[in-house]
Structures are given as C-alpha cells and as structure tokens.
Amino acid sequence: MNRRTFLTWAATGVASAAVAPSSAWPGVSRRVPDDPYGCLVDLTRCVGCRKCEQACNTVNNLPAPSVPFDDMLVFDSQRRPTPQSFTVVNRYHTGKVDDRNRLVPTYVKVQCMHCQDPACVSACIVGALTKRDNGAVHYDESKCIGCRYCMIACPFQIPQYEYNDPITPRVRKCTFCFERISQPGGVPGCAAICPVEAITFGKRNVLLALAAQRIEAEPARYIPHIYGASEVGGTSWLYISGEPFEKLGFLTLPHRPIPQTTESIQHGIFAYFWAPLTLYGLLGAIMYGTHRRQKQEQQTSEDKGDGP
C-alpha cells in the first residue's frame, strides 16, 4: 500500500466514522409515562411492624429470613435491601419526644424508588431494564448479562447482585409487584397489608395532590416537602414526613433526571472519540498487515537463499 492509497483509505474511514454517532446514538429515546401508578409513604403513620417486609417476601417467593419478621432487634442497625429482601424498614431517632418526654422513633421503608426517568434503564446496555407505563421499572433476567452498570448508575444504590449464585446470578430489586398492579384492582403486597395505611397506592398525580393536601391541612405534623416529587426527575414512590429527610437516611439529590446528564456526556464522548478510535484501529490493521507482509517477504528471501 503506497502513501496515497493509505491516506485515501484513512480519510474515508474517518469520514464515515464521524457521521456514525448521529445514527448510533440518537439521544434519549425513553418516554416518561404520562399517568403511572405510585405509592405514597406517610412516615408519620408507620409503626415499624415490618408487615410490608413479610408481604414482599411472600409475593416475590423470597427465602425465609434468618431473623423472623416479628423480631424488632433488627432495628438496632441500619439495613439495606438485598437479593433476599427487596424492602426493609429502618428506625431513626432524631430527638423528637412525645408529651411524656419519651423519644419518638421514625420508621422508614426502603425499596426501589421506580424513577420516572431511571438511570438504571439508561445504563443498561441490553435493555434488561425498562420503565413501564404503569410506573414499574421492570427487570427481564433473560436479557441481563450481569454487567451491573445499573448498580453503579442508581442514585439510590438499590439494585443488588446475586454474588452467591455462580450459575445464573441476577440483579434483584423491588418489582413494584409488577404482575399484581398490571391486573385491574391490583395493589402491591406491602400497600395491601399495611395495618395503619402508611402506604397508599394509586395514580402518581393523585398521590401528589393527596400529599400536598395532608401537608397543608396539618403543617405542624409534616415538613413542607414531598420527597420524590422532583428528585432526579421524580419517582413513583413518594414520601411525606414530620422530620427532615436528611435525618432519615434520604439522599439530597438534584432535580434533573440522571440520564439527561450521563447520556449527554456519554454521547459526547462517543461523538468526538469515535473518529480517532476508528483511525487508530485502521492504523493498527495497516501496521499488522505491513508487518505480516514483510515477514512473508523475508521468509521467501531466506528460502531462496537456502536453495541449490
């Protein structure tokens, strides 16, 4: 290959690569559901009975826990969801006391928040995670390749991986009782079993209005903040509380959906680096081909030299 041929080949490759990002990376194509379901958790009502944990365990056919659901010693330490427990309840003491000067705990249910524009869905390179119209972030284990990008992307640090399963490990998280809420009148197991109605299931827009109504009606009972209304673009799970959320283990997050930031960076990187990466690939191929041809010519020359 002479210099002119090389330059022509390289220029053609770079030119074609330069236009590739416009088709390979079309931008954010996900559609946020117009009227999804959600759950409103009223932390002023939760009594820490752990019935929601038990119902979740039953509905999802999860293994029996090592600590029974009626054992309240689990509140001595903070817990996170695991592959065997999609939701957990934690206890917090913020200094609040009752009329007898006794500490009043606040109990917080933790599970996947089912974001409106989920970072995990954006991060999944094989489409194993999808945001459904009913509000659930649904996981298809048949598509999952175990890259665990979803675990890194989640701002709430929720997805968990079955490290103890060497054959068919899965990413595990709250399913929002997808099959149940897909049926008419279906309600998530945790919301159905709650004895004090701390969890209300319904259309997200209705729940937002209900939360605002409760806060307005009892300003001394609630802080003026609906957690999940706008955090990371909004979530299907919403919370109202009598205590500041930062004292209850909730993260302070931006209002901008995570994918709007990460995808713009990701697409920008690919847009500007695709061409040089392609060029380097072409150079590598040319160098390999040239080196191989030189070796063949050298071998041929040596063979002739050894001849009679």
C-alpha–C-alpha distance, residues 40 and 38, integer Å? 7
- The kind and range of the H/E element at 200 are strand 199-203
**Residue 39 annotated as binding?**
no
String of DSSP letters for 25-54: ---------SS-EEEEEETTT-----HHHH
C-alpha–C-alpha distance, residues 282 and 172, integer Å? 41
C-alpha–C-alpha distance, residues 117 and 192, integer Å? 26
C-alpha–C-alpha distance, residues 24 and 14, integer Å? 15
CB-side exposure of 152: number of CA atoms within 13 Å? Answer: 9
- The phi and psi torsions of 40 (rounded to 5 degrees) equal -105, 120
**Residue 194 annotated as binding?**
yes
Q: Provide the H-helix boundaries in the chain.
A: 3-18, 20-24, 51-59, 119-123, 149-153, 178-181, 189-193, 204-217, 258-305
Other CB atoms within 10 Å distance of the CB of residue 143? 12
Look up residue 247 and give its DSSP letter: G
Radius of gyration (C-alpha) of the chain in whole angstroms: 28
C-alpha–C-alpha distance, residues 238 and 206, integer Å? 11
C-alpha–C-alpha distance, residues 126 and 147, integer Å? 10
**Residue 177 annotated as binding?**
yes
C-alpha–C-alpha distance, residues 110 and 48, integer Å? 12
- In the annotated binding site, the residues are 46, 49, 52, 56, 112, 115, 120, 124, 144, 147, 150, 154, 174, 177, 190, 194
- In the annotated binding site for [4Fe-4S] cluster, the residues are 46, 49, 52, 56, 112, 115, 120, 124, 144, 147, 150, 154, 174, 177, 190, 194
